[in-house]
């Protein structure tokens, strides 16, 4: 479904991504792991067209989308739920969801709003409320719900657990499992290594703008480098 080859990108003169190769098959949850500042969020931005690629290619459903631009990438069904949520604080929860279907999924807007309300009952209680008044966890749910409104083929979730209490983090990972059960393909960008590996089908570990390790969670858990660097095991 997604095939990234030798992707380079950065800001100004600083190269952040230094040749990324990554692939995702339909129906998978793929985790992209790595500590702060290794380029995970930049990578997500390049995929969704917010950050221009310097070189390399991104193919999505057999189509080259590397230089398509954010709007057309949304049209194709690659939806990015960003780190920091970036919901519309001055709009109501319902309006936020409606704008999720600004380009894609317009015809099914009413049905999809019901669907999101089913997945996030807590959002439903707040439909008429301004999104800026929601708690951090609710805002995260809204950001994901807004992404679901565009009927994604591939959903990129960038740090969905950041800033949430441990209980809510647990809930968020349960929810991502639920989305997978619905048949969604997910790229989960996370620092939370252990919990991500629990629900992922495959994982990539990023370091310094490159993919350092990749494989099934069980294989990665046994890797001594990963254990030392991210799991705090000797």
Partner 1 sequence: MPSGLLPSHPLDTAMPDLAIIIPSVLNGITTGSLYALIALGLTLIYGVLHIINFAHGALLMVGLYAVWFLNVQLGIDPYWALLIVPPAMFALGYALQRGIIGKASHGRDENILLVTLGLSIVIENLALYVFRSDTRIVDTPYSFETVEFLGAFLPLPKVIAFFGALVTATVLWLLMARTDLGRAIRALAKERKGAELVGINTEHVYAMSFGLGIACLGVAACLLLPSYYVTPQVGHGFVLIAFTIVVLGGMGSFVGALIGGLIIGVVEAMGGLFLGESLGQIGIFVIFILVLMFRPQGLLGHKV
How far apart (Å, rounded) are the C-alpha atoms in residues 43 and 53? 9
User: For the chain, give me the number of helices (H) and strands (E)?
Assistant: 10, 10
CB 209 within 8 A of CB 39: yes
Pick from 29, 38, 68, 87: which binds partner 1 (CB under 8 A)?
Answer: 87
For partner 1, give the closer residue by CB, 146 or 180. 146
Exposure string (b/e) for 181-209, b if CB count within 10 Å is 16 or more? eeebbbbbbbebbebbbebbbbbbbbeeb
Pick from 40, 104, 126, 180: which binds partner 1 (CB under 8 A)?
Answer: 104
* 162 near partner 1 (CB under 8 A): no
* 74 near partner 1 (CB under 8 A): yes
* 48 near partner 1 (CB under 8 A): yes
* 20 near partner 1 (CB under 8 A): no
Pick from 59, 102, 210, 221: which binds partner 1 (CB under 8 A)?
Answer: 102
Residue 162, number of CB atoms within 10 A of its CB:
16
Look up tokens 């800001």; give the residue.
11
At its nearest, how many Å lie between partner 1 and the CB of residue 186?
16
Half-sphere exposure of 77 (CA within 13 A, CB side): 16
Among the listed ranges 85-93, 113-121, 173-181, 211-219, the one in contact with partner 1 (CB under 8 A) is 85-93
Give the Å distances, CA to CA, from 145 to 75, 95, 110, 176: 17, 12, 13, 12
Pick from 57, 91, 199, 231: which binds partner 1 (CB under 8 A)?
Answer: 91
* 142 near partner 1 (CB under 8 A): no
Report the first-to-last Cα separation within the chain, whole angstroms.
37
For partner 1, give the closer residue by CB, 86 or 122. 86
For partner 1, give the closer residue by CB, 104 or 202. 104
Task: Say which residues have a Cβ less than 8 Å from residue 212's Cβ, sequence separation at least 6.
Answer: 34, 205, 206, 225
Among the listed ranges 11-19, 87-95, 115-123, 188-196, the one in contact with partner 1 (CB under 8 A) is 87-95
* 67 near partner 1 (CB under 8 A): no
Q: Which of 184, 178, 151 is nearest to 75 (CA)?
A: 151
* 153 near partner 1 (CB under 8 A): no
Binding-site ranges for partner 1 (CB under 8 A)? 48, 50, 70-71, 73-75, 79-82, 85-91, 95, 98-100, 102-104, 146, 150
């Amino acid at each position: 479904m997604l095939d990234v080859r030798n992707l380079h990108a950065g800001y100004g003169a600083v190269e952040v991504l230094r040749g990324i190769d990554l692939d995702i098959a339909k129906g998978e949850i793929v985790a992209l792991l790595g500590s702060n500042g290794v380029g995970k969020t930049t990578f997500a931005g390049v995929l969704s067209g917010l950050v221009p690629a310097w070189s390399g290619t991104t193919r999505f459903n057999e189509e080259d989308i590397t230089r398509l631009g954010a709007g057309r990438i949304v049209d194709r069904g690659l939806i990015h739920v960003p780190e920091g949520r970036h919901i519309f604080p001055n709009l109501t929860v319902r309006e936020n969801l409606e704008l999720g279907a600004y380009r894609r999924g317009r015809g099914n807007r009413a049905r999809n709003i019901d669907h999101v309300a089913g997945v996030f009952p807590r959002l439903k209680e707040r439909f008429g409320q301004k999104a800026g008044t929601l708690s951090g966890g609710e805002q995260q749910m809204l950001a994901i719900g807004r992404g679901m409104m565009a009927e994604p083929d591939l959903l990129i979730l960038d740090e969905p657990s950041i800033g949430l209490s441990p209980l809510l983090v647990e809930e968020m990972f349960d929810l991502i499992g639920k989305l997978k059960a619905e048949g969604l393909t997910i790229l989960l960008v996370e620092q939370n290594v252990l919990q991500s590996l629990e629900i992922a089908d495959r994982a990539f570990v990023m370091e310094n703008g490159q993919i350092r390790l990749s494989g099934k969670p069980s294989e990665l858990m046994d890797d001594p480098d990963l254990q030392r660097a991210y799991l705090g095991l000797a």
